[in-house]
Structure 1
Amino acid sequence: MNINGSLTQVLLIEDSSQIGYARRTAQRLAEQHGFSESDAGRVALVVTELASNLLKHAGRGELHLRVLPRQGDAGIELLAVDRARGFDLEACLTDGFSTGGTQGIGLGAVSRQADVFDVYADHRGAVLLARLYPRNTRQPDLLYGVSQHSLHDDPACGDVWHLAYHGADISALIVDGLGHGEDAEIAGRAGEGAFARAPFSTPTMLMEDLHRDMIGTRGGAVAFAQFHADSASLRFTGVGNIGASLIAADKSRGLASHPGIVGVQYRKAQPFDYAHVNGHLLIMYSDGLQSRWNLQDYPGLVHRHPAVIAAILHRDFCRGRDDVTVLVVALEAAHG
């Protein structure tokens, strides 16, 4: 299964008049992707509660919206992101409690309506995740998360990401086309097209395929990681400045890339192999994200859903002067 990369849709929540627009936008997106009236109604309810919660306890925030393609259907991902001073999660999840002095049915209702619900909060703010799928399907949630945003909300994004699943094996790509805007996106999409045709092929051959298809474009930085579940190993190949780390609960390893510009000139693309990575997080990111982050500064975050991790890294470490992509994948042989 191939998952084509897409931008994160961001809805500002700064006053109560924006809640209705957010609800209608998400409900319409769900209906466009095959949700029944009842399932789209669940999406609308969750959006209303998440947006209301942002106003109640943070004063303002953002709602991040994304479609989650799967084999034969799609889900809807909702992330409420704020920079407030945090709140009591245990209390907020109890029906009848509210930080805003209202009835307080919000987060309890969200956790019941969502197929996947997760949250992380500290003094820097909170991120709440809800993923909803059509109720007549039984496919598992795929444990990845992505936060992708273009500079100045340009409809074109020079960053491109792509995920491929084959049984329990995973192959993940990020391309950062030189510069930003439409020409950078053309370069990134050319690389993605080559990757999607054979995401699990030999790394040197795969990089050559991307290089060939990106010739004539601006070119860009490229990195891809291939997880082989049977051997619990990861093979990472990079050219240019795509950052990447393998993270376990107690340690972190940076993954090395070679210099060059794919589509223009590079000398080699030697893959690096990493053993015993089952249960690790793979985090890949473009240079629109600062590299000085450390998940150890966020106690317990490594155990949260990858979508929560991606949103927090973007919130706290986005440079704000380039397109930015953060891709987080849980490497677990349980995918099937």
Structure 2
Amino acid sequence: MEATLSLTDKSGVAEVRRRAIHMAHVAGLSEKRQADAALIVTEAATNILKYAGQGEITLRSYDEGGTQALEMIALDRGPGIANLTSAMIDGFSTGGSLGAGLGTIKRHSTLFDIYSIAGSGTALLAHIANAPGVANVSIERFQIGARSTPKFGQDVCGDTWSVRRVGDSLWVTLLDGLGHGPMAAEASNRAVDVFHEADPRDQPADVLRRAHQGIRATRGAVMAIAMFDAVNRTLSFAGVGNIVAIVTAGDDAQHLISTDGTVGYNMRTVRQREAPWTKGGVFIATTDGLSTRWNLSRHPGLVQRHPSLIASVLHRDFARDADDATIIVVKAA
């Protein structure tokens, strides 16, 4: 269950609080954690209105390994926070308040992260879980974050993404069905089925070839698959169509090039790429709903943050309303 709520006035604070309590209850969080969720979103929404004037909060409930949790991402395009260290101290305020907001959110969260630079807005992540230390869609040595939205005015997104675990490896796929709406979503979802049914011994290029045969009855899709081997510290990547993907290692970023074509329609020979996958490495892949000019240069230090923040900030700054827009981020823990 996921919901994104816009904040433009004080009525939005009450609405996001009600939604958080409802989603926490449905997810099976304890009464204490439901209260924590209400407090966290109220503080985050109030801060957005006070300092940025407007913004949005995305709530997502999920079950990770039998543990129920609620994720909150609060985003704005306000003035940012010049000194995060000071802002986390209770009593610090630039708006005439008690200054307890960020400290309160952190204390009542099972996972907390924040990214802000002066003049470029703020992004805040909080997880509320029945068990401490739960991370978003984490599979042992990996952290994963994603953000996906349909074209403005559409209810169905033609993009999708998915993950699967095969032994010590994590597999990730990102798809963009041609066009928009239900028929685009059908193509993407059928390809996801092929992805999950693939032989564990396959390579990414093999799965793309299987998907090409499996979705011929649809309008087709662009598709990328990455396999992360945590033992051998390698990344294998294969893509078809206009998906942009990079992998970072320290200050270096390597572009992972996809092959021209459309899965299910006119796919050419698939070329698989290999790259090192070291601790702290970050993999980012986007559909063309994000401007192809997206890059990390205007977001210093962002790759050190949680993948959910990385995905949300880049989506906020580069997504286009005229298309479905999806980004997925994987980080080596």
SS at match of 1:265: coil
Aligned equivalents of 2:33 and 2:273: distance in 1? 44
Opposite residue 128 of structure 2, the aligned amino acid is: L
Question: Residue 182 of structure 1: CA displacement?
Answer: 0.9
Q: Return closer, same or farther for 1:79/1:276 CA change in 2, 3 Å cut-off.
A: closer
SS at match of 2:317: helix
Answer whether contact 1:286 1:326 (CA < 8 A) is retained: yes
SS at match of 1:274: strand
Question: Residue 10 of structure 1: CA displacement?
Answer: 1.6
Aligned equivalents of 1:117 and 1:250: distance in 2? 25
Q: Return closer, same or farther for 1:307/1:32 CA change in 2, 3 Å cut-off.
A: same
Q: Return closer, same or farther for 1:131/1:138 CA change in 2, 3 Å cut-off.
A: closer
Question: Residue 74 of structure 1: CA displacement?
Answer: 3.3
Q: Which residue of 28, 44, 47 maps to 1:53?
A: 47
Aligned equivalents of 2:23 and 2:291: distance in 1? 32
Answer whether contact 1:164 1:199 (CA < 8 A) is retained: no
SS at match of 2:207: helix
SS at match of 2:300: coil
- Tell me the equivalent position of 2:85: 90
- Tell me the equivalent position of 1:100: 95
- Tell me the equivalent position of 1:182: 182
- Tell me the equivalent position of 1:124: 120
Opposite residue 224 of structure 1, the aligned amino acid is: I
Aligned equivalents of 1:148 and 1:24: distance in 2? 23
Question: Residue 290 of structure 1: CA displacement?
Answer: 1.1
Of the structure 1 ranges 141-150 and 315-324, higher mean CA displacement relative to structure 2 is found in 141-150
Answer whether contact 2:214 2:264 (CA < 8 A) is retained: yes
- Tell me the equivalent position of 1:3: none
- Tell me the equivalent position of 2:252: 251
Is residue 2:116 matched to residue 1:115? no
- Tell me the equivalent position of 2:280: 279
Opposite residue 243 of structure 1, the aligned amino acid is: V
Of the structure 1 ranges 76-85 and 206-215, higher mean CA displacement relative to structure 2 is found in 206-215
Is residue 2:32 matched to residue 1:44? no
Question: Residue 102 of structure 1: CA displacement?
Answer: 1.6
How many residues align? The count is 325
In angstroms, what is the RMSD of aligned CA positions?
1.8
Question: Residue 311 of structure 1: CA displacement?
Answer: 0.9
SS at match of 1:216: coil
Answer whether contact 1:83 1:126 (CA < 8 A) is retained: yes
Answer whether contact 2:150 2:325 (CA < 8 A) is retained: yes
Answer whether contact 1:233 1:278 (CA < 8 A) is retained: no
Is residue 2:74 matched to residue 1:80? yes
Answer whether contact 1:258 1:269 (CA < 8 A) is retained: yes
Question: Residue 316 of structure 1: CA displacement?
Answer: 0.9
- Tell me the equivalent position of 1:303: 304
Question: Residue 320 of structure 1: CA displacement?
Answer: 2.1
Q: Return closer, same or farther for 1:199/1:241 CA change in 2, 3 Å cut-off.
A: farther
Deviation readout 1:11-56 (Å, 9 max, x if unpaired):
1111111111101112211221221222122111111111011011
Q: Which residue of 11, 14, 23 maps to 1:20?
A: 14
Opposite residue 103 of structure 1, the aligned amino acid is: L
Q: Return closer, same or farther for 1:85/1:173 CA change in 2, 3 Å cut-off.
A: same
Question: Residue 170 of structure 1: CA displacement?
Answer: 1.4
Question: Residue 253 of structure 1: CA displacement?
Answer: 0.8
SS at match of 2:187: helix
Of the structure 1 ranges 162-171 and 284-293, higher mean CA displacement relative to structure 2 is found in 162-171
Question: Residue 203 of structure 1: CA displacement?
Answer: 2.3
Answer whether contact 1:66 1:77 (CA < 8 A) is retained: yes
Question: Residue 140 of structure 1: CA displacement?
Answer: 5.4
- Tell me the equivalent position of 1:171: 171
Opposite residue 291 of structure 2, the aligned amino acid is: Q
Deviation readout 1:95-147 (Å, 9 max, x if unpaired):
12233212222110100111111111111111111112113x66555221111
Of the structure 1 ranges 49-58 and 90-99, higher mean CA displacement relative to structure 2 is found in 90-99
Aligned equivalents of 2:161 and 2:37: distance in 1? 26
TM-score using structure 1 length: 0.91
Deviation readout 1:249-277 (Å, 9 max, x if unpaired):
31111101111111112122221111354
Opposite residue 112 of structure 1, the aligned amino acid is: R
Question: Residue 294 of structure 1: CA displacement?
Answer: 2.3
Opposite residue 266 of structure 1, the aligned amino acid is: M
Answer whether contact 1:33 1:73 (CA < 8 A) is retained: no
Aligned equivalents of 2:95 and 2:151: distance in 1? 34
Question: Residue 221 of structure 1: CA displacement?
Answer: 0.1
Q: Which runs of 5+ in 2 are unaligned?
A: none
Aligned equivalents of 1:161 and 1:147: distance in 2? 10
- Tell me the equivalent position of 1:327: 328
Answer whether contact 1:227 1:331 (CA < 8 A) is retained: no
Q: Return closer, same or farther for 1:85/1:37 CA change in 2, 3 Å cut-off.
A: same
SS at match of 1:67: strand
Aligned equivalents of 2:168 and 2:322: distance in 1? 36
SS at match of 2:152: helix
Opposite residue 172 of structure 1, the aligned amino acid is: V
Question: Residue 223 of structure 1: CA displacement?
Answer: 0.1
